Amino acid sequence: MHPEASPKHLPVSLFLIRASVVLMLAPWVADKFINPAHMVGIAESFYGITGLGATVVLIIGAAQAVLLACFALGIGRTWSYGLVLLMHAVSTFSSWKQYLDPYTGANLLFFAAWPMLAALVALFLLRDHDALLSVSRRGRSRRD
């Protein structure tokens, strides 16, 4: 579908997905600066990465902050939307143990990752139509 042929409410819908993803990810990015030890614990528990130092966590946080800013502004939609999608997919799939035991602790909350993953896939697939409050213009996402 050509961007000019998109349904009337599609740009608003896509913007709302983008904005809500930013609202969800921003505290996680900020957490890397506020409490790097939390990320160290997550890296060990969910990704099997040990020995992560505070400096590495701060570098990861800075990279994620730049990525999230690009995503929020619609800059480089193919890359920024794709990397945010990949980042969230890795997080979602790395939590597989929580899905097997949903009624222990706060594990039920992990299921909220699935609709967000689906929304990110939809946003990525429809990125050419996501022009509302976006720095990149329509039809340019294949080049950015």
How many domains, in total, are found in the chain?
A: 1
pTM for the model: 0.88
Mean pLDDT over each residue of the chain, to the nearest integer: 92
Considering the domain boundaries, does residue 46 fall inside one? Answer: yes
Considering the domain boundaries, does residue 19 fall inside one? Answer: yes
Considering the domain boundaries, does residue 59 fall inside one? Answer: yes
Note down the domain range covering 111.
7-129
Considering the domain boundaries, does residue 99 fall inside one? Answer: yes
**What sign for the dihedral angle of Cα 78, 79, 81, 83?**
positive
Considering the domain boundaries, does residue 29 fall inside one? Answer: yes
Considering the domain boundaries, does residue 76 fall inside one? Answer: yes
Q: pLDDT tens for residues 44-64?
A: 999 999 999 999 999 999 999
Considering the domain boundaries, does residue 52 fall inside one? Answer: yes
CA distances from 4 to 7, 11, 100, 111, 120 (A): 9, 11, 44, 36, 22
Report the alpha-carbon distance of residue 28 to residue 68 in Å, rounded.
Answer: 11
What's the pLDDT band for 136 if we cut at 50, 70, 90?
confident
Considering the domain boundaries, does residue 110 fall inside one? Answer: yes
